[in-house]
Every structure is written in C-alpha cells, then in structure tokens.
Amino acid sequence: MKALIAGFKRISLTDVHNEPTFTLWLCGCNLRCPFCHNWKLAIGDRELCKPIDINYIVDEIISTKKFITYLHVTGGEPLLQLAALEEIFRSVKDHDVSTSLNSNLTFPNRIERLLSKNLVDHIATDLKIPFDELSGLAGESSVLWKKFIESLEVINGYNIVFELRIPVARDLTLKYIEGVLSSIERLLNNIDNVYCIVNPLVGEPLVNPRDRDWARRYCNPPMAEVYRIAEIVRERIGCKVYVKKWWSFGS
C-alpha cells in the first residue's frame, strides 16, 4: 500500500509538546484555513506530494524508535487517507511505538475507528476560534463544527493524551473565546489527560500562509493578547496551559 506523503522528519522536537517525535506529513485536507503554511500539501501539490510505500515509512520509523516518544502524523488532514494511516499506526504499534495524530476532528467516525482499535495514544487538534473564519469554509462551518463536537464526545470515551491547541488570531480570537469555551468546557473537563497550547499565529516572513492578506491582518498578535487568552483558558478549562513563543510581537 502507498500513501500520498509530503515528507517526514526522523526526530522533531516541535510537533508534540515536550516530546521527541518522528513526524510524518500526509497530503490532502478538507479545510481551507487562511493562516495555513502547509497549504501546498493540503491541496496535494504534485511537486510536493508523492506516493510512497508504507513499508518504507514504517522501516524508517522503527529505526528511530529508541529516540522518540511518538510517531506523529500530521498534514493536511491525515484522516483523509484512513486506510494508509491505519496500516501505518498498526505496523508501528506492533513494534511498541506510541502514536500521535494531529487532526482537525471533523471526521468523528474515523476517529472512533482508530480509537476503538487502540491505534492512537495522543491526539492534537486546533480549536479554531471563530471556527467559520479560521476554517476558511464559512458556508460549511456549522456542519463541520458539529462534527468537531462529536469527535470531542468520542475522545471522552478513551484514555488518551489530548493536546488542545488554540491558534490566536490578532483582534479576533479574544472576542469569541469565552463564548466558545463555555459551550464546550463540559466536554473538555471530562477528558482526563488534557493540556492546552496557546499558539500565536505567525505570518510572513516566518511562514508562507495560504491567504497573505488575511495573515497580514490577523497574524502576529501582541503577546499581551496571547497571555490574556491563556488566562481565560486556564480559568475555564482548568488544565495545564502553555504558550508557544514563535516570535515577540510586542506588548
């Protein structure tokens, strides 16, 4: 079996909080996030995305197992290649490698499938606030948001590590965060092992965002705004909260 893959990094120290990972990028995505800097692999760019045999990838992962905590699969949206993803996870877990999935959580049935087979140990997702703006699909956002909530309900039933990432858009996320958290805090509070990463969105020149005009308007928030959001998350959810510091954007 082959998967459409953009690349991999044998040892990454940035993709799961405080854990070394073998990170694998799968192509394709069902969202159109304007801040996304992996948008070329999300659209399946032919120069970037290549069909690669899964056995080759699994061998590479196993060769690094003593140096990593997780195989971390990201994208794009890895659940679009469910059969390949499932085979990769099953193969590495047969060699005692723990697995991590970065997903937008809009495929609850596929999340349930992987979790029910004990194929995922760690899940990371972005809590996009406001969802219609940050998903880039305003016309479909209400349906996709319901699927996100369904996925949180699924995760509630399993003993995994859950990393909730909150991307901060300047002058935008702060306006809506309390209302969004109030609607989902019960679900988050029921997840036993959850922590939060508050992640200020960055634009050019650090990354190449999908929508450059959007990024100029909403990326690079002041750190005072970022820390205020971190305080709100800590108060509402009661979990450990970490602030990712890509850059200093001012006070």
Which domains, from first to last, does the chain contain?
Answer: 2-243 (3.20.20.70)
Q: Pick from 33, 36, 27: which is nearest to 73 by CA?
A: 27
Rounded Cα gap, residues 102 and 65, in angstroms: 19
Token code pair at residue 110: 């596929």
pLDDT band at 245 (very low <50, low <70, confident <90, very high): confident
Nearest to 24 by CA among 98, 79, 69, 75: 75
Average pLDDT of the chain, as a whole number: 96
How do residues 153-204 score in pLDDT, each as one tens digit? 999 999 999 999 999 999 999 999 999 999 999 999 889 899 999 999 999 9
The 10 Å CB-count burial string (b at 16+, else e) for 51-76 is: ebebeebbeebbebeeebbbbbbbbb
Confidence (pLDDT) at 112: 98
* Span 130-150, pLDDT tens digits: 999 999 999 999 999 999 999
pLDDT reported for residue 251: 39
Looking at residue 142, its pLDDT comes to 97
CA gap 92, 89 in Å, rounded:
5
Question: Is 80 exceeded by the pLDDT of residue 64?
Answer: yes
Question: Given the DSSP bridges, would you call strands 70-74 and 19-26 parallel, antiparallel or unpaired?
Answer: parallel
Position 246 confidence tier, pLDDT thresholds 50, 70, 90: low
What mean pLDDT do residues 118-138 have?
98
Give the Cα separation of 86 and 54 in Å (integer): 11
